[in-house]
Amino acid sequence: MAKEFPMSNKNFDEIKRIAYEITGINLTDQKKNMIYSRLARRIRANGLNSFDQYCALLAQANSGETTEFINAITTNLTSFFREGHHFDFLQETVFPELLRKNASTHRVRFWSAGCSTGEEPYSIAMCLKEKMPISSWDIKLLATDLDSNVVAHGKAGVYNLDRTDGIGDSRKKRWLLKAADAKSVRMKTELQDLITFKQLNLLHDWPMKGPFDVVFCRNVVIYFDKETQRTLFDRYANILAPGGYLFIGHSENLHKVSDRFKSVGRTIYQKIR
């Protein structure tokens, strides 16, 4: 079937170049159909007639389309308490360790890098509220993502009921409130107050100084080439406190990418230098 907007190899190569230049994402030929369907929506939204015109629009300085382009090509698959063993490790191992290690400062910093629509940082926040002395310690959680739309979603803290299946019933009663439409829920204010949501391109300068005690960067680097991964993990090591923890996705690993961490199992790594 003929497509609405034919996309030539030259068009796709240009889109791949722009995506890599702006975000570090390495689009493969296997993603061509996905990219077509997502950017076809942007062509319609801009009243354009072809991928040639869309590529020309992206090339224009201050066109305003760059943000929409980034939002369109990024994938935001997530869920509450995804890879539950990570959150068990937080509560059973990391939190007791931080209570001992940071006893003199009472300061703890977490970062959810690639937070998508917010399910990950809210899952971390629930764990923190349940097991850490929030009222007497200086505990903060930063949540960032390249996609400004999902950052806004996370900040709002409102989710359809079917998105909350990963949250146990006791946690639902404790941390969720029914929204006005009865088909969605919202996070309690005390969870929202713990999290700062910000748009951030991981390949650009980071405004925060750290150090962070824990960084979650799960299912993010699978879109980057090895050299970009090496750079990013080196920056994570730099901003982590000594002995800090890095959590990555189930299909990711640091083998031949970084020697600044040791594996403690199940895609959890600890900084060693």
Quote the pLDDT of residue 91: 97
The domain boundary, picked from 50, 73, 96, lies at 73
Query: 98: burial class by Cβ within 10 Å (0-12, 13-18, 19+)?
Result: buried
- The number of helices, as runs of H, and strands, as runs of E, in the chain is 11, 10
Q: Does residue 176 form part of some domain?
A: yes
pLDDT of residue 251: 86
Total domains, the chain: 2
Q: Rounded to an integer, what distance in angstroms lies between the CA atom of residue 65 and that of residue 51?
A: 14
Catalytic residue (one of 42, 82, 109, 145): 145
pLDDT tens per residue across span 124-147:
999 999 999 999 999 999 999 999
CB 260, CB 270: distance < 8 Å: no
Domain-located, residue 149: yes
**Residue stretches of the chain with pLDDT short of 70:** 1-2
N residues, the chain: 273
Q: Is 145 a catalytic site residue?
A: yes
Same-domain check for residues 148 and 127: yes
Q: Are residues 39 and 143 in the same domain?
A: no
Catalytic, 230? Answer no
Question: Rounded to the nearest 5 degrees, what angle is found at the Cα of 115, between the Cα atoms of 109 and 121?
Answer: 50
Integer angstrom CA distances of residue 167 from 145, 163, 164: 22, 9, 6
Three-state secondary structure call for residue 7: coil
DSSP E strand boundaries for 82-145: 107-113, 138-145
Please tell me the distance from the alpha carbon of residue 75 to that of residue 116, in angstroms, as a whole number. Answer: 8
Question: Structural domain of residue 47, as residue ranges?
Answer: 9-73
The amino acid at residue 180 is A
- Are both 107 and 226 inside the same structural domain? yes
Of 227, 272, 271, 229, the residue nearest 249 (C-alpha) = 229
In a domain, 113, yes or no: yes
Q: Which residues contact 173 (CB under 8 A, 6 or more apart)?
A: none
Residue with tokens 């009921």: 161
> Looking at residue 181, what is its pLDDT?
82
Q: Report the CATH number at residue 39.
A: 1.10.155.10
- CA distances (Å), origin 246, targets 123, 132, 239: 16, 19, 11
Contacts of residue 100, Cβ cutoff 8 Å, sequence gap at least 6: none
Q: Which position among 38, 174, 186, 260 bears the catalytic label?
A: 38
Looking at residue 224, the DSSP 8-state letter turns out to be: B
Residue 45 lies in a domain: yes
Supply the angle between the helices 9-23 and 32-45 in degrees, to the nearest 10.
Answer: 90
CB neighbourhood size of 59 (10 A): 11
Model pLDDT for residues 19-31, shown as the tens digit of each residue: 998 888 889 999 9
C-alpha 112/C-alpha 126 separation (Å) is 14
Check whether residue 117 and residue 33 sit in a common domain: no
Same domain, 161 and 27: no
Unique residue bearing structure tokens 């319609």:
44
DSSP 8-state class, residue 9? H
Q: Domain check: are 166 and 265 in the same one?
A: yes
